[in-house]
Amino acid sequence: MLAVEVRRNGGIEFSTLVLNDAVVNKGAVGRLIEFLVHIDGEFVYDLRSDGLIVATPTGSTAYALSSDGPILQPSVPAFALVPICPHTLSNRPIIVSDRSVIEITLKRSIDARLHFDGQLQCDLHEGDHVMIRRAAQSITFVHPPGYSYYAMLRGKLHWSEVL
């Protein structure tokens, strides 16, 4: 799970826990947003795009996968950072340790928003800092006998179908 905070003007504007993904996106306006991404305090890139998805392994087969992100096996202790329609074709998804602290700083935007697990949670303003880290809480899924992660992927993604 993810723990997410929005910091504005030196204070915490919003915080929550997330199961699948946290998404910074452009909102209703048809213009790119621009934001800075830091991981563990180190500058990664200045990105102009429709947004960025930060997905857990559970969320890697949802919106992140639809945006050409990787599938993370549930036992992999990592998060996927997946740009949404980046302005530069060289911006590709990256995988980071789930011990990393991800900071997204909104640099330029008219109407940016933050979604969690597909639900709108917070409007963002220029200068806002979205802090994402592994939550202290974890979740355990209970599966029926005979459950197979790879069989689920084959069914969901129609792998190995005869055409």
Which tens digit of pLDDT belongs to each residue from 110-148? 889 999 998 878 899 999 999 999 999 999 999 999 999
Separation of alpha carbons 116 and 111, rounded Å: 17
Q: How confident is the model at residue 68 (pLDDT cuts 50, 70, 90)?
A: very high
The domains located in the chain, with CATH, are 2-157 (2.60.200.30)
Average of per-residue pLDDT values in the chain:
93
Q: Is 64 a residue whose pLDDT tops 80?
A: yes
Taking residues 49-67, report their average pLDDT.
95
CB neighbour burial string for 89-125, b if at least 16 within 10 angstroms, e if fewer: eebebbbbebebebbbbbeebeebbbbbbeeebbebe
Q: What is the DSSP secondary structure assignment for residue 117, as one 8-state letter? A: T
Residue 92: its pLDDT value, please?
93
Query: Distance from CA of residue 65 to its chain's centroid?
Result: 11
Residue 118: its pLDDT value, please?
85
Q: How confident is the model at residue 163 (pLDDT cuts 50, 70, 90)?
A: low
Which amino acid is present at 111?
D
Residue 77: its pLDDT value, please?
96
Residue 11: its pLDDT value, please?
96
Closest by CA position to 112, among listed 3, 8, 1:
8
pLDDT, tens digit, for every residue of 89-118?
Answer: 888 999 999 999 999 999 988 889 999 998
